[in-house]
Amino acid sequence: MARNKSKPLESGYALFDVFYEDGSRSSNRRVPRSVLGGLDGDEPARKAIEEQDNAIAEKAGRPRLPIKKVTRSPV
């Protein structure tokens, strides 16, 4: 009997590059794979990154920068 290969796990993180409206960039931002996929594609990643930015800005005591574009980081 042949052995079946296991399927890749959907756990872990996907990496994204974030471009802000002021021209700055943040590379390799981690987003859980569990929030990605479906019909929305990578759009949930933007919401997750905005939540991360809100938490960081609150701790730093400064306003959050508006996000211009979110793309997957090259592998």
Mean pLDDT of 42-60: 94
Domain-located, residue 6:
no
Asked whether the predicted pLDDT for residue 8 surpasses 60, the reply is no
In this prediction the pTM is: 0.76
Closest CA to 14 of 44, 38, 54, 40: 44
**Could you tell me the residue range of the domain that residue 43 belongs to?**
13-72
Domain-located, residue 62:
yes
Domain count within the chain: 1
Domain-located, residue 7:
no
Asked whether the predicted pLDDT for residue 68 surpasses 80, the reply is yes
Geometric angle at alpha carbon 59, from 46 and 57, rounded to 5° = 40
The pLDDT assigned to 40 comes to: 73
Domain-located, residue 68:
yes
Place of tokens 């996000």: 67
